[in-house]
Structure formats: structure tokens, C-alpha cells
């Protein structure tokens, strides 16, 4: 390179390769851009492509956290009631005592005489309906009501589930009942309701009323008390789903006060409780219970009408 001249330009010099360096503009003047040839001055500045913002990714939804091992069980079934009520096992003890007390009072009032079909309908219906009614009242006063506390809601899905568990349970309970009758004798497998109506006859209206109580009313009321009130009381004390299943199944069988049939009632209660456990609501267990009572109810109606021998 040559030494700079007095006007600020650089004298031409011969590079090692023999190429002539381009002339620089005078000092203090702005450079003049040109589009000339390789020696025509400063080349055009390179074009910088416009920067575009990176695409925005949609927000990622993270899965709900799972409970730590040992702290809980599987997620509750859809629509399962939240346990925010203020009643517990004491409420069930109160309702059960009320049921037994009213049943004993009615039995004492009509003791010593032959009971007619209307009297038996009252004796069968009043304690059960009263126990269920007090249960509903407890949920209104000490909780969020039967819908929130007991899962007492209507759903066609629960109806289908109840029918599946009800008829599936009959596949098991009917052979078990026949086997149990062979083992312990046919006299010890009859129900207390069947024994109470044994030998009685009734007109169509009274017979149908008995059938409705056995097939429709009693299952609804018993499910409200056992798989509703008692289930919720146990579930409030523990997060283990098999605890209310086990406790309600045992107490349901024992509370019928039919000691000779208690093992059979345990088998009968299993599919009903499984329907409750599967859905987290009472609708399925009510339907399963009604299916279980369907055949005995129809047989009782037929016996009252004289269509079949007395049970």
C-alpha cells in the first residue's frame, strides 16, 4: 500500500497480486454508492432480509397431577359426589335406630292377632320410608342435599349400568340360592317378607301394591340408607374405595335380621354395591337392587292372587 497524499487519498499502489485498490472518497465526505463495475467505486450494500417473528406455538395443556402413591386411590367416577357434608356415622346410627324402633312399635301394636295384607303393607312400608325420609332431611340440614351428598341423580347411563349389574348378579345369586337351600334346607332360605305373607290372599289392587313395595319402594329407600348415608359416612373417614363397599355390604346383610339368610344376603349385596362403586352414584345401585327384587316380588304377587302355591 502507498503512503497517503495530502488531500487524504491513498496513492495507487501495486498489491502483491498486481490488483489496483479502489479509491476512497475524500475525508469528511459521505461515501458515494454506485452500481458500477468492479472498479467503479463502493459496491451496493448487501440486502439484509427482513426478520420475521417466530411462530407462536399453542399453549401446552399439562395432564392433571396424579396422587402420590399411598395417598389415595383412583380418580372418582364422573359425577361422584364430593364429601363436604357435616354428617357421619352418627347419622346412620340414628336412622337405623329409628327404623328398628318404628318396626318394633308397629309389631307391638299388632301383636297377638292375624295380620291382614293392608296391615302388612303398612308395617313393611312405614319404617323403611321413614328411615329414607330422615336420611334426606339430614343431607339437607347438614350437607348439600341428596344430590350432592348421596349421588341421588337420574341418568340413563346409571340405569344401563344398574340393569347390567342386576341381571349379571342374578346369574350368580340364583345358583347360589339353590345351592344354599340344599345345604341348609329350603325352610331357612325364605325371606321374612315372604314368611309374613305366607298363606294370605289379596285382591289385584292389594297384591300389586305389595309388589310395588317390594320391587320399587323398598330398594329405593334401602339404597338411600345403606349405599347413600352409610356409604358417605364411611367414605368421609377414609379415601379407600373398598372401605365403604365392604362396610355397607356387611351391614346390609346383617341389618335384615335374618341370621339364617345372612350368607346369602352377602352374595346378593355384592353386585348392588359394585354398581354403586362403579358409578359413584345411587341410581345404578337402586336399579340393580330393583332387578334383584323383581323375581321374589312377582312370585309374591302371584301367590297373593292364588296363581301359585303359597310361598
On the question of pLDDT at 69 being above 60, the answer is no
Amino acid 46: pLDDT = 53
Amino acid 75: pLDDT = 42
Summarised one tens digit per residue, pLDDT across range 201-224 is 999 999 999 999 999 999 999 999
Max mean pLDDT range (44-48, 107-111, 220-224, 259-263): 220-224
Summarised one tens digit per residue, pLDDT across range 1-33 is 544 444 444 444 433 444 444 455 555 454 444
On the question of pLDDT at 44 being above 60, the answer is no
Measure Cα distances from 80 to 44, 77, 213, 236, 280 in Å.
74, 5, 28, 13, 5
Summarised one tens digit per residue, pLDDT across range 145-204 is 999 999 999 899 999 999 999 999 999 999 999 998 888 887 777 788 888 898 899 999
Instruction: Return the percentage of the chain with pLDDT > 90, whole number.
Output: 56
Amino acid at each position: 500500500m502507498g503512503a497517503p497524499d495530502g488531500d487524504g487519498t491513498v496513492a495507487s499502489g501495486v498489491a502483491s497480486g498486481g490488483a489496483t485498490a479502489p479509491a476512497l472518497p475524500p475525508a469528511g465526505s459521505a461515501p458515494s454508492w454506485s452500481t458500477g463495475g468492479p472498479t467503479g467505486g463502493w459496491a451496493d450494500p448487501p440486502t439484509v432480509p427482513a426478520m420475521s417473528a417466530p411462530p407462536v406455538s399453542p399453549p401446552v395443556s399439562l395432564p392433571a397431577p396424579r396422587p402420590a402413591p399411598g395417598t389415595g386411590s383412583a380418580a372418582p367416577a364422573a359425577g361422584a359426589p364430593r364429601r363436604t357434608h357435616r354428617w357421619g356415622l352418627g347419622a346412620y346410627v340414628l336412622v337405623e335406630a329409628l327404623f328398628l324402633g318404628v318396626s318394633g312399635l308397629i309389631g307391638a301394636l299388632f301383636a297377638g292377632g292375624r295380620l291382614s295384607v293392608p296391615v302388612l303393607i303398612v308395617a313393611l312400608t312405614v319404617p323403611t320410608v321413614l328411615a329414607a325420609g330422615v336420611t334426606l332431611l339430614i343431607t339437607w340440614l347438614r350437607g348439600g342435599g341428596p344430590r350432592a351428598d348421596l349421588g341421588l341423580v337420574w341418568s340413563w347411563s346409571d340405569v344401563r349400568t344398574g340393569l347390567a349389574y342386576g341381571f349379571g348378579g342374578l346369574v350368580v345369586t340364583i345358583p347360589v340360592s339353590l345351592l344354599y337351600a340344599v345345604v341348609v334346607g329350603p325352610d331357612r332360605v325364605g325371606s321374612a317378607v315372604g314368611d309374613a305373607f305366607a298363606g294370605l290372599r289379596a285382591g289385584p289392587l292389594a297384591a300389586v301394591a305389595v309388589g310395588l313395595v317390594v320391587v320399587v319402594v323398598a330398594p329405593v329407600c334401602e339404597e338411600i340408607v345403606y349405599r347413600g348415608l352409610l356409604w358417605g359416612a364411611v367414605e368421609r373417614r377414609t379415601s379407600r374405595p373398598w372401605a365403604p363397599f365392604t362396610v355397607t355390604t356387611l351391614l346390609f346383610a346383617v341389618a335384615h335380621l335374618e341370621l339364617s339368610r345372612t350368607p346369602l344376603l352377602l352374595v346378593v349385596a355384592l353386585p348392588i354395591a359394585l354398581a354403586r362403586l362403579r358409578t359413584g352414584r345411587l341410581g345404578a345401585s337402586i336399579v340393580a337392587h330393583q332387578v334383584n327384587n323383581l323375581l321374589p316380588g312377582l312370585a309374591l304377587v302371584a301367590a297373593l292372587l292364588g296363581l301359585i302355591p303359597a310361598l
